[in-house]
Amino acid sequence: MLNFMIKPTSFKCNIACKYCFYLEKQKFIVPENESPFMDIALAKEFVEKKIREENSNDVYFLWQGGEPLLAGLDFYVNILAHQEKIARLFNKKVHNAIQTNGTLIDDSWAKFFKKNKFLVGISIDGNKQFHNNYRKTITGKDTFTEVSKGLEFLRKNKVEFNTLTVINNLNSNHPLEIYNFLKSIGSKFMQFIPVIETMDIDENYKPEWIDNHQSIPRPATFSVTPLAYANFMNSIFDEWIRKDITNVSIRMFDSLLARFSGYEQTLCHFKERCGGNNIALESDSMLYQCDHFVYPESRFKIGNFKELSFKEIEEKTKLLSDMKKDISSKCKKCQWLELCHGGCPKHRFINYCENERISYFCEGYQRIFEHITPGLNLIMEFKEKQIPWNILPKAADNLYKTLTK
């Protein structure tokens, strides 16, 4: 199944996070003096195409940005009416999710999300201190208060939401503080994204190292180090397995548990093939290989969605999967290969040997897998034998005490 990130406002956002990799897209996606907002007729055309060509009876739409709420409430009201109309024709069920910075949510938005069963993703980097470090408005104002107000409207209207937290050089040193804060605001599903961006950009607005093997990438100051990221996730795992396994879902742990159960990873950067997982649909109808590979060069463009069938679109995602499969000799010998498959191609800029690169997060991933695998195996045993979960904390304590002797 192809997964699309629909960007009705393209790069347009009402805040300017320091680590955002999408704001720079305005330099080439939309010509100056043209609107970055998706035309409603274009959006309806994509809706119809997706419902018609999707093989499954359940059709999923993910709205992202920029800040997708800038498209306005009327845009989504019209879209949902069209979804319902087309879904009835094909006897299919439609599901919607939206990723937002939360600052624009008011009672009207919250009521709309509730009525239409939207899954809402809120980007929040921790409590006030940590969130405001990098998530500021264009004029440099803090945004935590506005996000908190948006969350209050969601809770008031009983809207299901999850949280996306960017792990950076500052909040990475406070894993339990971040984790407990997210629990305190009612997050039951958490996603932690480690940020790494490099400084040198070529004439096509992409990292210089992608084509220049002589380039030595310089991580941006906000980037999290691999070991800090590992310590962050391991600390949260230790807390989660003992206290929250039945009431909090953490995407990385869920993905690894799926793999331990014999299924494919749900996290794209841990999959063997990643093409087609995060296709970016821009506001001008152009499709790109991945949300993280939106560059003006033709190799990263799939084409105009109006001119391609879903089968043709899928065939054109092969480039990314080929990049994903092109792993180093170190990865091929690694005991954790089946869990990470070399990580995301966007992160493979550490020179290992001549013409071979490994992920920036390689050492961090190894630390994470080494630490949490025994615990995940314990969870699998509890599931298979249907052991009561209230025994798990003591079992985890005994397990890790044994391992550290």
Task: For residue 120, give the H/E element and its range.
Answer: strand 119-123
Q: What angle do CA 46, 47, 48 make, to 5 degrees?
A: 90
| SS3 of residue 403 by DSSP | helix
The number of helices, as runs of H, and strands, as runs of E, in the chain is: 14, 12
Task: For residue 63, give the H/E element and its range.
Answer: strand 58-63
Task: For residue 313, give the H/E element and its range.
Answer: helix 310-315
- 284 annotated active-site: no
The torsion angle over the Cα atoms of residues 144, 150, 156 and 158, rounded to 10 degrees, is -110
Tally of residues, the chain? 405
d(CA 304, CA 49): 13
DSSP 57: S
Strand-pair partners of 190: 163, 250
The tokens describing 196, both together, are 């790494």
Residue with tokens 């949300």: 291
Q: Are residues 231 and 361 in contact, defined by beta-carbon separation less than 8 angstroms? A: no
Q: Are residues 313 and 2 in contact, defined by beta-carbon separation less than 8 angstroms? A: yes
d(CA 342, CA 299): 22
Selecting among 106, 125, 284, 291, the annotated active-site residue is 291
Which residue numbers are catalytic?
A: 291
